[in-house]
Amino acid sequence: MVSNDTNDPRGRQVPRGRLSRLSQFGRLAGSVAGGMIAEGGRRLAAGERPQLRDMLLTPGNVGKVADRLSHLRGAAMKLGQMISMDAGDLLPAELTAIMARLRDNAQHMPAAQLQQVLTREWGPDWRARFSHFDHRPIAAASIGQVHRAIAKDGRELAIKVQYPGVRESIDADVGNVATLLRMSGVLPRGFDVGPLLEEAKRQLAEEADYEREGEYMVRLGRLLADMPEVIVPTLESGLTTSRVLAMTFLEGRPIESLETASQDVRDATMQTLIRVVLRELFEFGLMQTDPNFGNYRIQPRTGRLVLLDFGAARSVAPETAEGYRRLLRASLSGDRVAVRDAAVAAGFLGPAVVARHGAAVDQIIDVILGELNRPGLFDFGDRRFVEALRGRGMEIAADAGAWHLPPTDILFVQRKISGTALLASRLKARVDIREIVQPWLGEPATVPPVRIQ
């Protein structure tokens, strides 16, 4: 959820009104246009025939876009972070650079603006609720920033404060980021991205409701209470509003710090997280779908996995869980045809993809089955097979007629699963996939699952 920001102690004012945010995008467009004209002139002088995409995605323009989106924060920055994790391998390298910079470039509010927000939410005498409140945030992210505080009774708290104007700017920000994607040429002509944008707006609106997030934090904390290796903050309901979330402060180091830990520690941590994901999907029917690495921390003293940020928590339909169960069963049996059929039935693949690129699909499945069913532990750090997948995947992605948008439920669940695998790769963890998944396979369902539209 968060990234540390210590570059500017004064912070940077968050544009909150519709007009002020629109003017920021206008300034960005003007600045980028100037860069495009200069780049186009340079290429023409060199005897080249410049393409629009080449002029847009110059290093200078990349920097301008990343800086402006990080200044705006809110939905614009959140979408950039999501895209960089979910589709980074498919984006142009320059656009990937913009999105990647947004993961670690959050800027916090200045003290005066923070004071305004807290006065509006808690009243003018809000300081009387604490024996200490640190105005310097310990972390800042796309939608809010986190402060450390000590309650009157001595309890240490973490207070997440939402940036002003975030909720009101979601629709406009999503539209502007979509325009950036279209200009980059990454979306095929004629592809209807409308349903996905509407879902993104709905999801972002839910994430901006901190009372909702607090409720899901409580629910998942109770469901995971029987896993002592995992810990979830406790909600401080008396201080929580729709724009301020108060919870117990849990000490922890970034999970990426485990890169230098022993192999056993890295393996054990990822086994724990994978079990959490499997329980969310198959047991709870409730999943925190944001796999951002900042949502996980490790307690130095106990080694427990700290889970943070439940704004993206959502229910998982039984049909979706059953679709994944069927797919896992088929994959671990090594049956290519069964995998392909299960993927189409669940909505992972569209019939047009199989009809137009059947051979490429089968080759992708064969590579995955070969890796999953290799004897011994699955080595997430061995990424050699990814190149084989990328080549075939890019071939399919280049065919606009084969583009397929999976059901919404699948998109969010798969985001969590893919992000978990990415973290396991970062930590070079080795896990017995068959053993850890086996308890969740169950018996084949007698009734085919209903496809979610």
* Residues catalogued as catalytic: 290
Torsion of CA 260, 265, 267, 272, to 10 degrees: -120
Decide the pairing of beta strands 296-298 and 305-307: antiparallel
Instruction: Count CA atoms closer than 13 A to 68's CA, side-chain side.
Output: 23
245, containing H or E segment: strand 244-248
Residues 55-72: b if buried by 16+ CB within 10 A, e if exposed: bbbbeebbebbbbbbbbb
Alpha-carbon distance 175 to 75, whole Å?
10
Angle at which helices 336-346 and 318-333 cross, to 10°? 170
Residue with tokens 């080694």: 303
40: its two tokens:
């186009």
Residue whose tokens read 């490790």: 298
Backbone φ and ψ of 146, nearest 5°: -115, 135
Nearest to 415 by CA among 288, 235, 305, 243: 288
Torsion of CA 319, 283, 237, 234, to 10 degrees: -140
Range 174-184 burial, b when 16+ CB lie within 10 A, else e: bebbbebbebb
Contact 278, 324 (CB under 8 A): no
